[in-house]
Amino acid sequence: MVAATQGGEQGWSSRTAFVLAAIGAAVGLGNIWRFPTLAGENGGGAFVFVYVVCVILIGLPMVLVEIMLGRAGGGHANAIGSVADVAEQSKVSRKWSIFGGCEVLAAFLILSFYSVVAGWVLNFVFISGADFFGSLFSGAPLAGAHVGEPQEAVTGLMGELFASPWRMLLLHALFMATTLGIVAVGVHDGIEKAASWLMPSFFVLLVLITIYGAFTGDFARALAFLFTPDFSRLSPTAINEALGQAFFSLSLGSAALITYGSYVGSDVKLAPTAGMIAAADTGVAILAGLMIFPIVFTAGLDPSAGPALIFQSLPIAFQTMPAGALIGFAFFLLIFFAALTSSISLLEGPVAWTIDTFGIARRPAAVIVALASFVVGVACILGYGAWSDVRLLGFWAIFAETDILDTIDGFTGKVMLPLAGLGLSIFAGWRADRRLIEAQTGLTGGAFLLWRGLVAWLAPFAVFLILIFGLFPWLLG
């Protein structure tokens, strides 16, 4: 078998390496772009509250399920093979691996638009970088980016990008190629190395910018916004959105954790590791909110600006802030680092499957998957221009108005990830061999029973109900 197997030359070199890579997979655009956007659109505190509940009661137990299935799945590095293998060891139908297939497909689709959005981030890394180094060399104080320019010029930066499909295409290609370059090298020398550089840099930048925001921005108002729940603003769709976001942010339902889990050695205790991943991911999402909203409020901007929040609102804010050029550059660099470690994990799942299924080597497998995903991303870009009228799921009320990118984003996040989670929670909670699972998780006694109860009872019911009412809101009348 060509596949990377646990403990083999392709496995993680240490537990720390695995934890960093898995946190790298979890922390990404979901935390810094999507979470603050969703919180802003859904009224802040109430959304944050539901989100955290979803993470603790459903997300965290499912993180353990996925890593455990990966490691338990024999020598298979791919999500389908792992689930099939555990099913076989448990003497139940191999068909449960359909949910593994759903995960691989979701990863492939998410990667396509993820790389497009990461391309937007790159655009601002370049612009703010030019501003920063420009002001450094001209000896000007590190005042705001585009100092002295009228606000419309800064507001126009995003419009300019969206009006130029070629620029988006180039940035998308650049980001995908970077991801590909790392995954093609392998688990140990590529993925692990990248995470061990990028994640520490990311954390340093995050802490520094948050402190900066706390001193220069309206921190109190940001705190109130994020932590004072107004439950009247919670709709079934918002709850569905919170659950989908929890799955997306934790990298659940998209092959990443199963695949990364398959490279973990048998000596690693999985339960505390799952806890660290969930805690780090949620912590970063909330810190990102505390980093962004003080700046947004101080500049008098609208917290519910939607996806434009970080690409349009923040550059305006940076323009007026002390050392804004430096902060702007650091901010977009930070998002880029986070996005890269996530896209790596998005690519790795389908690549591991391609290696296993077609028996080809890692490099060609990585090239094929990245190229195919790139093409789907191109369709997303066309959705902002020539194909702006295309509605992929136009027959479905909740997707009737969404362009190609938002449709793929919405369908994977709100439908595919929860569905895979639903299937695997039933599988792990009811069908998989109990002793096998107990040994893999390393949980004993009450902790095991609690975990299993959440996986077998709460997760399937909650996910099912949220899916039904979120996707078909008219059912509630």
What is the torsion angle, in degrees rounded to the nearest 10, for the CA atoms of residue 60, residue 62, residue 66 and residue 69? 120
Of residues 253 and 294, the one with the C-beta less far from ligand PHE: 253
Any contact of residue 290 with ligand PHE (CB under 6 A)?
Answer: no
Any contact of residue 342 with ligand PHE (CB under 6 A)?
Answer: yes
Q: Give the residue among 314, 236, 233, 310 at the shortest CA–CA distance from 45.
A: 233
Judged by CB under 6 A, the stretch of 125-133, 318-326, 341-349, 431-439 that binds ligand PHE is 341-349
State the minimum distance, in angstroms, from the CB of residue 257 to ligand PHE.
8
| Gyration radius of the chain's alpha carbons | 22
Any contact of residue 249 with ligand PHE (CB under 6 A)?
Answer: yes
State the minimum distance, in angstroms, from the CB of residue 63 to ligand PHE.
11
Q: Which one among 17, 29, 54, 432 touches ligand PHE, defined by CB under 6 A?
A: 29
Q: Which one among 6, 22, 24, 31 touches ligand PHE, defined by CB under 6 A?
A: 31
Any contact of residue 345 with ligand PHE (CB under 6 A)?
Answer: yes
Any contact of residue 246 with ligand PHE (CB under 6 A)?
Answer: no
Of residues 288 and 326, the one with the C-beta less far from ligand PHE: 288
Q: Which two tokens stand for residue 8?
A: 């083999």
Judged by CB under 6 A, the stretch of 84-92, 233-241, 247-255, 260-268 that binds ligand PHE is 247-255
Contact (Cβ atoms closer than 8 angstroms) between residue 257 and residue 25: yes
State the minimum distance, in angstroms, from the CB of residue 77 to ligand PHE.
15
Of residues 144 and 410, the one with the C-beta less far from ligand PHE: 410
Of residues 279 and 436, the one with the C-beta less far from ligand PHE: 279
CA–CA separation, 347 and 451 (whole Å):
30
Q: Give the residue among 266, 276, 263 at the shortest CA–CA distance from 351.
A: 263
Judged by CB under 6 A, the stretch of 63-71, 301-309, 342-350, 360-368 that binds ligand PHE is 342-350
State the minimum distance, in angstroms, from the CB of residue 101 to ligand PHE.
15
Of residues 415 and 443, the one with the C-beta less far from ligand PHE: 415
Residues in the chain: 477
Alpha carbon separation from 470 to 103, 233, 253, 301, 313 (Å, rounded): 20, 15, 18, 30, 29
Any contact of residue 248 with ligand PHE (CB under 6 A)?
Answer: yes
Q: Around Cβ 314, how many Cβ atoms within 10 Å?
A: 26
Q: Which one among 83, 154, 205, 346 touches ligand PHE, defined by CB under 6 A?
A: 346
CA angle 279, 331, 313 (to 5 degrees): 105
Long-range contacts of 84-90 (CB under 8 A, 24+ apart): 86/432, 86/433, 86/436, 87/427, 87/431, 87/432, 89/433, 89/436, 90/431, 90/432, 90/433, 90/436
CA angle 51, 458, 477 (to 5 degrees): 70
CA–CA separation, 430 and 109 (whole Å):
29
Judged by CB under 6 A, the stretch of 20-28, 170-178, 260-268, 384-392 that binds ligand PHE is 20-28
Chain positions 84 to 123 lying near ligand PHE, rule: CB under 6 A, are 107, 110
CA–CA separation, 13 and 253 (whole Å):
25
DSSP three-state, residue 308: helix
Judged by CB under 6 A, the stretch of 22-30, 176-184, 266-274, 318-326 that binds ligand PHE is 22-30
Phi-psi domain of 146 (left: phi exceeds 0; alpha: psi -120 through 50; beta: other) = left
Any contact of residue 324 with ligand PHE (CB under 6 A)?
Answer: no
DSSP three-state, residue 146: coil
Any contact of residue 251 with ligand PHE (CB under 6 A)?
Answer: yes
Of residues 306 and 322, the one with the C-beta less far from ligand PHE: 306
Any contact of residue 254 with ligand PHE (CB under 6 A)?
Answer: yes
Q: Which one among 19, 26, 335, 463 touches ligand PHE, defined by CB under 6 A?
A: 26
Amino acid letter, residue 216:
T
Number of residues forming the site for ligand PHE (CB under 6 A): 16
Q: Give the residue among 462, 423, 28, 467 at the shortest CA–CA distance from 251.
A: 28
Chain position carrying tokens 């984003």:
409
Any contact of residue 337 with ligand PHE (CB under 6 A)?
Answer: no
Give residues in contact with ligand PHE (CB under 6 A).
25-26, 28-31, 107, 110, 248-249, 251, 254, 256, 342, 345-346
